[in-house]
């Protein structure tokens, strides 16, 4: 066997002092903290669904105070602070029931919660930005017609509907719809949806009224939205029971009825929608409907009239009843998980605040509940 050897020339080596080895500090990666998942500030402004976790077990009343009332508008809040509208006032209180400031601004509709302020419409036609910490009324819009319902997020800002049928926004566009709104609006990224007393659902954007769809009867409360449809409760009329109607809001059929469902009597509040459409009815039933076909999936029976839009958290619906109880209903099969008697009809849908919830009652009380 022949070995081939490569000869390399030897390099000259200088006699150098040993080099000092300096330890570099460890490289710290710029790791961003995970996003903080907060409950939706006002769950029912669009669909009734909230990202807050369900409480998961029976709750009990832990505190309460009387504001005057009845309390009919949704309560907004987070784990530290909550806000309610009563007798034209916007009232702040902590999540554990300690009263805070009281802003007398002729407040109408439910409040919308931001990091540092609360937005609420007024009967004076203004929209008020109220400081969360102090209750000081800050930026306001120019006066117009009384604000109906609440402000809704749209176009990176907010829009609202007035009693004169004008839709206005912080982006600077104003549309005179020429109708009388019946209740609170809903919105997606660029369009405001509201029902009117002449039994129609309207879609309004920066360019004007996109479409108007006739409803079977005058509406009950405002619409709820999912990715494709708007759902509106309507009342009984001419001997026919009320129900809920689905209207396409996207595609070639936008503005056309998709289906309708008649309930046993007539809804008392807006429907909610997540994996199904949930309709609270005067006949003491919450109906769950298939959102595509409108077919009945189940019915949950209570002892009185269901009065509030359901709030959906996890697999639980929370619904207020005229029998004075808050009901927790399994959203999959309609089973009653529990109900809690509160002594007066529950007239404002519950708001989940941290590990508890707050509800408003017909006798003007605000009540805090915890497991």
Q: What is the pLDDT of residues 292-341, one digit of tens each?
A: 999 999 999 998 999 999 999 989 999 999 999 999 999 999 999 999 99
Sign of the torsion angle spanned by Cα atoms 44, 46, 52, 58: positive
Q: How confident is the model at residue 8 (pLDDT cuts 50, 70, 90)?
A: very low
Please say whether the beta carbons of 149 and 134 come within 8 A.
no
Is the pLDDT score of 23 beyond 60? no
Instruction: Give the whole-angstrom CA distance, residue 3 versus residue 14.
Output: 33
Instruction: Give the whole-angstrom CA distance, residue 37 versus residue 50.
Output: 11
Q: How confident is the model at residue 350 (pLDDT cuts 50, 70, 90)?
A: confident
Q: How confident is the model at residue 278 (pLDDT cuts 50, 70, 90)?
A: very high
The pLDDT value recorded for residue 45 is 52
Q: What is the mean pLDDT of the chain?
A: 87
The pLDDT value recorded for residue 305 is 95
Is the pLDDT score of 22 beyond 80? no
> Quick one: which of 166, 172, 179 has its CA closest to 121?
166
Q: Domains of the chain by range and CATH?
A: 43-370 (2.130.10.10)
DSSP class of 39: -
Cβ-count burial 28-56 (b if 16+ within 10 Å, e if not) = eeeeeeeeeeebbbbbbbbbbbbebebbe
Is the pLDDT score of 239 beyond 50? yes
Mean pLDDT value of segment 177-184: 92
Q: How confident is the model at residue 138 (pLDDT cuts 50, 70, 90)?
A: confident
Q: How confident is the model at residue 254 (pLDDT cuts 50, 70, 90)?
A: very high
Is the pLDDT score of 104 beyond 90? yes
Q: How confident is the model at residue 13 (pLDDT cuts 50, 70, 90)?
A: very low
Complete edge-to-edge strand list for the sheet that includes strand 76-77? 76-77, 81-86, 89-94, 99-104
Is the pLDDT score of 1 beyond 80? no
Is the pLDDT score of 33 beyond 90? no
User: What beta strand segments (E) does 181-335 contain?
Assistant: 186-187, 192-196, 200-205, 208-214, 219-225, 229-234, 243-248, 257-262, 272-273, 277-280, 285-289, 296-301, 311-313, 316-320, 325-330
Q: How confident is the model at residue 27 (pLDDT cuts 50, 70, 90)?
A: very low
Beta bridge mates, 89? 86, 104
The pLDDT value recorded for residue 24 is 46
The pLDDT value recorded for residue 95 is 87
pLDDT tens-digit map of 183-232: 899 998 889 999 999 999 999 999 999 999 999 999 999 999 999 999 99
């Amino acid at each position: 066997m022949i070995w081939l050897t490569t000869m390399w020339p030897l390099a000259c080596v200088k006699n150098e002092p040993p080099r000092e080895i300096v330890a570099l500090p460890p490289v710290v990666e710029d790791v961003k903290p995970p996003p903080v998942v907060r409950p939706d500030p006002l769950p029912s402004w669009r669909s009734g669904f909230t990202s807050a976790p369900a409480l998961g077990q029976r709750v009990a009343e832990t505190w309460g105070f009387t504001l005057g009332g009845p309390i009919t508008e949704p309560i907004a809040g987070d784990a530290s602070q909550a806000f309610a509208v009563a007798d034209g006032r916007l009232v702040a209180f902590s999540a554990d029931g300690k009263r805070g400031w009281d802003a007398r601004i002729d407040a109408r509709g439910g409040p919308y919660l931001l990091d540092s302020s609360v937005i609420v419409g007024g009967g004076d036609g203004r929209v008020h930005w109220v400081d969360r910490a102090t209750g000081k009324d800050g930026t306001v819009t120019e006066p117009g017609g009384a604000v109906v319902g609440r402000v809704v997020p749209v176009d990176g800002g907010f829009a609202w509907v007035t009693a004169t049928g004008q839709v206005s926004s912080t982006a600077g566009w104003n549309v005179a719809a020429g109708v009388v709104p019946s209740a609170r609006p809903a919105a997606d990224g660029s369009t405001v949806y509201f029902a009117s007393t002449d039994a129609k659902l309207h879609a309004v954007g920066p360019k004007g009224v996109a479409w108007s769809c006739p409803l079977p009867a005058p509406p009950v409360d405002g619409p709820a939205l999912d990715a494709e449809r708007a759902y509106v409760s309507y009342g009984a009329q001419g001997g026919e029971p009320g129900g809920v109607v689905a209207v396409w809001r996207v595609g070639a059929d936008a503005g056309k009825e998709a289906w309708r469902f008649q309930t046993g009597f007539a809804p008392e509040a807006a429907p909610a929608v997540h994996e199904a459409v949930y309709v609270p009815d005067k006949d003491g039933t919450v109906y769950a409907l298939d959102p595509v076909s409108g077919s009945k999936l189940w019915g949950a029976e209570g002892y009185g009239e269901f009065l509030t839009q359901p709030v959906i958290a996890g697999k639980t619906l929370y619904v207020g009843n005229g029998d004075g109880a808050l009901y927790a209903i399994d959203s999959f099969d309609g089973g009653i998980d529990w109900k809690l008697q509160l002594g007066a009809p529950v007239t404002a849908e519950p708001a989940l605040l941290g590990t508890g919830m707050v509800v408003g009652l017909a006798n003007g009380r605000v009540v805090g509940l915890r497991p």
